[in-house]
Structure 1
């Protein structure tokens, strides 16, 4: 069985994926912003899940999350699930944290980054991005960036299966109770990508929706844009993503 770390797993899709994977016999590491939020996964902890805590909008706390995971042991897979929809933390949580955790956690065999169909509305422009978060960036932009990050990791680390997933518009706290998509399908693809022996799940660099591989925004597939994004993230965090 695999050891799987899932960010933002105190509720929503992250919690649902954690519950499913734990039920299948995997060792699951759940994550919450602060210890008080672990009450939402008490049942999972009682069943053997492990936990780490830290605010992914804060660079130092994100580094500490990586350290906590590494102390537990190298994960076989990481699902970068945590995300926020609006506000000054969008870039930090949706883009910077996945990058920093990718760079600092002992390299797993599989990586999944949560994207969105809204990434097609993102702007492939890095010049005026306020990485400090004083000027809010759009959710669409952040999801374009993280989709490009997934593709960049796939290109840079050929020994790792790196994928981006659009979970759909599902009825979670972020999506709202009237969201039209199937909640189960919202986390099924992530679970499949980190555990399945299916040959398709082992192909790196894909953008997925409900276990179907789709073409993402052209910028996400552009090596020049990927490299520019990695350079910006290295500058902002002071941490380089290792070469293959």
Structure 2
């Protein structure tokens, strides 16, 4: 039995991931951005062991969330599932960052930096990471014309960069990025092609399976198969510059292994 935290588990792929983990006999810690959403999560996944609460659109709230997670002790796995889709307009958080970047990228970075290192880390990305552009000098779209879909693609590229960078810095941890596919969720929309179980399957497998194929690290996967990510994601120099920039923006440095 593994103890697994799933961020953003009050609905969508995160909830399905939590349900599948519970069904597999694992101990699951849910996450929601508010107390009200936490109650929804508890009702939707009644077999979960615990719920932690924190708004990933706030660095202060994410730090408080990291404290809650740290108090649980070292987990076996964390599935960084929480995220937002493309925004119709550029929205800034209380910290002055563009919302998509902060929730999808800075928050999982900060949680990774501030919590005990689990044996396995899974970062959800998207096939749209292939269209991401690595503008380290304009992560918040402060200078570029606003394009909500491009901001989302960029954030998903940075999620792959983060997963691969963590794999290098923490060789004792299996750290991978997963494209769940185009799933029928509120974010995916009615036109999506795949059902929720397909979106959760690879994350559950990577977080818990002892199959040799699941015990990889520093990889990008879709439907349990290895895929080649955006070439920018494998650029070690870019990974290092991203980690340095994320540390500057959050005040938290990713600890060495």
Q: Give the TM-score of the pair, scaled to structure 1.
A: 0.95
- Unaligned residue ranges in structure 2 (runs of 5+): 92-98
Mapping of residues 78-227 of structure 1, within 5 Å? 78-87=78-87, 88=91, 89-130=99-140, 138-227=151-240
Query: Within the alignment, does 1:235 sit opposite 2:248 as a pair?
Result: yes
Give the distance between the partners of 2:138 and 2:33, measured in 1 at CA: 29
Cα deviation for residue 91 of structure 1 reads 0.6
Cα deviation for residue 20 of structure 1 reads 0.9
Give the distance between the partners of 1:154 and 1:72, measured in 2 at CA: 23
Q: CA 1:178/1:131 → structure 2, altered by over 3 Å: closer, same or farther?
A: closer
Give the distance between the partners of 1:11 and 1:233, measured in 2 at CA: 28
Match of 1:6 in 2: 6
Is the 8 Å Cα contact of residues 70 and 106 (structure 1) preserved in structure 2?
Answer: yes
Is the 8 Å Cα contact of residues 42 and 48 (structure 2) preserved in structure 1?
Answer: no
Cα deviation for residue 45 of structure 1 reads 5.7
Cα deviation for residue 131 of structure 1 reads 8.1
Map Cα deviations across residues 197-237 of structure 1 (whole Å, 9 max, x no partner).
01111110110001010000001001011001001000000
Is the 8 Å Cα contact of residues 115 and 166 (structure 1) preserved in structure 2?
Answer: yes
- Unaligned residue ranges in structure 1 (runs of 5+): none
Map Cα deviations across residues 14-50 of structure 1 (whole Å, 9 max, x no partner).
0001011012111101000100012322335642420
Match of 1:27 in 2: 27
Is the 8 Å Cα contact of residues 123 and 144 (structure 1) preserved in structure 2?
Answer: yes
RMSD value over aligned CA atoms? 1.8
